[in-house]
Amino acid sequence: MGSIPRGGWEVRKGEAGYPDSLLDLARPPEVLYGRGDPSSLAGPCLSIVGSRRATPYGEAIAEMAARVAADAGVTVVSGGAMGCDRAAGIAALRAGGRTVVVSGCGADVVYPSTSRDVYEGAVASGGAVVSVERWGTGPRRWAFPKRNALIAALSKVLVVTEAGVRSGTLSTAEAATELGRTVYAIPGSVFSPGSAGTNRLIADGARVIPDEQSLSVALSLDYGAAALVGPDARSAPGPVMSALLATPLRPDELAARMGESVLTVLKTLTDFEARGHVERLPDGRYAPTRGYLTGERRA
């Protein structure tokens, strides 16, 4: 075993500081490697997972869930990956909360490099980066199922923000169910492949979270701590935003649904894009921005 890097720590099963929640695993890790504050693992913790190739909707949901958890004094646990994981970690930090990154690599390795701000922020803000892999271990495919099980075990509740039908996110949800954890799922459009797995979890019995206020109430019930969340102050979306909230669309598809000319729709989309309400996806479809969905900009 390599030497412990500066700022790192190791805790073995049976020692003080080893999270009791990990003992629920069929094979609890013998050693947990970490950086930051190990006491952040003692809870209360809420795990938030979702797609790496997240849509603006998925990232906005991850941010909302993390913000509500942070406001309630609950530590956010995620995998630190791009997409929903990174969005959750950053949102928790911005809300003044703590986050724990569960890495599939060594706890001293930042992967992916685009999530460095989450890793460094977790350690700096009283959270932690933890792993069951030895120091210096790089990314290996077989390590990530173990990482997913750890994410599920560390918290009493797992929030699934956005997931396809075949994904590591769903494997985390399966692990949480097997461990007797509560699974929250955020519904998405029935036309969105990115929400197909999440919607399936709801059909199979996951607790549906339809809005921010419902999430705050659910956390109050499960953790005994609540953030005050008022009703959404945004005005009702117009026909263009209503259509795009249901599913991303290309301008010609949107024009056909609305019975308008493509030119008229393009003018509206250009205006909304300038105002930060919509963004053009790589495949040419338009979707509401993360800022619009989280209320950073008002309609």
pLDDT band per the 50, 70, 90 thresholds, residue 11: very high
Evaluate whether residue 229 is within a structural domain. Answer: no
pLDDT, tens digit (0-9, with 9 covering 90-100), for 266-283: 988 998 888 888 999 989
Read off the pLDDT of each residue in 26-32 and give the average, rounded to a whole number.
95
| 37 and 116 together in one domain | yes
pLDDT, tens digit (0-9, with 9 covering 90-100), for 160-202: 999 988 788 999 999 999 999 999 999 998 888 889 999 999 9
Q: What is the DSSP letter of 288?
A: E
Domains in the chain: how many in total? 2
User: Are the C-beta atoms of 92 and 76 separated by less than 8 Å?
Assistant: yes
Tokens of 147: 């990482």
| 176 and 255 together in one domain | no
Tokens of 246: 């249901």
State which H helix or E strand residue 247 sits in. Answer: none
State the residue range of the domain holding 270: 239-293
User: Are the C-beta atoms of 205 and 199 separated by less than 8 Å?
Assistant: no
| 37 and 152 together in one domain | yes
| 101 and 215 together in one domain | yes
Helices (H), 50-192: 56-71, 84-94, 116-124, 143-154, 168-178
| 118 and 262 together in one domain | no
Evaluate whether residue 234 is within a structural domain. Answer: no
Evaluate whether residue 75 is within a structural domain. Answer: yes
- pLDDT for position 228: 45
**Residue 125 sits in a domain of what CATH number?**
3.40.50.450
Cα gap 208→187, rounded to integer Å: 7
Read off the pLDDT of each residue in 226-251 and give the average, rounded to a whole number.
70
Of 190, 223, 256, the position where a domain reaches its end is 223
Tokens of 23: 């003992």
* Average pLDDT of the chain, as a whole number: 89
Cα gap 175→173, rounded to integer Å: 5
Q: What is the DSSP letter of 235?
A: P
User: Are the C-beta atoms of 78 and 48 separated by less than 8 Å?
Assistant: yes
Read off the pLDDT of each residue in 11-21 and give the average, rounded to a whole number.
94
Read off the pLDDT of each residue in 140-150 and give the average, rounded to a whole number.
90
| 65 and 145 together in one domain | yes
What DSSP letter does each residue of 155-185 carry, written as one string?
A: -SEEEE----SSSHHHHHHHHHHHTT-EEEE
pLDDT at 124 over 80: yes
Work out the percent of the chain whose per-residue pLDDT is above 70. Answer: 94
pTM of the entire predicted model: 0.78
User: Are the C-beta atoms of 248 and 286 separated by less than 8 Å?
Assistant: yes
- pLDDT for position 295: 67
Evaluate whether residue 228 is within a structural domain. Answer: no
CA dihedral 262, 263, 265, 266 (to 10 degrees): 110
Evaluate whether residue 232 is within a structural domain. Answer: no
Read off the pLDDT of each residue in 107-119 and give the average, rounded to a whole number.
95
- pLDDT for position 226: 53
